[in-house]
Structure 1
Amino acid sequence: MKKWLNNNKLYLFGAVLGAIGGYIYWQQVGCISGTCAITSKPLNSTLYGALMGSLLLGLFKKEEKSNSVHS
């Protein structure tokens, strides 16, 4: 478990930051009419922010190089 956490810490950190950002976006901007799919509910906005944050910070993860030769 500890190895998995170390390998995916950027994804997890991005998810936490994105979730906080998504919730703040819902709280400050939101959707008054309730017809917006993402910003109408705080759960939707928070989950979407977590997904976007993890994808964004996941771009900066360095992949390990392998020495195997593909033919």
Structure 2
Amino acid sequence: MNKKEIIITSIGVVVGLISGYAYYHYIGCISGTCSITSKPLNSTLYGGVLVGLFFNMIGDFFKKKQP
């Protein structure tokens, strides 16, 4: 991974952490039976991993292909 890919993936992780916590705060599971959204740590980390992987995939998609 080069520096640009690391920056894009890091931005994705930060966006995911924020969106995962926002999901817990506004939509989360009140009863406590949901394994991901019942605790803020779980949903925050889950969002960070998913969006980080998504941004990494997008970065690979737009990477210039070598002939």
Normalising by structure 2, what TM-score? 0.81
From the two aligned structures, give the one with the greater helix fraction.
Answer: 2
For residue 39 of structure 1, what is the amino acid of its counterpart? Answer: T
- RMSD after superposition: 1.9
% same residue: 44
Which consecutive unaligned segments of at least 5 residues does structure 1 have?
A: none
Which consecutive unaligned segments of at least 5 residues does structure 2 have?
A: none
Moved more, 4-13 or 49-58: 4-13
Match of 2:29 in 1: 31
Match of 2:55 in 1: 57
Q: How does 1:1-71 map to 2 (within 5 A)?
A: 5-61=3-59, 62=63, 65=66
How many residues matched? Answer: 64
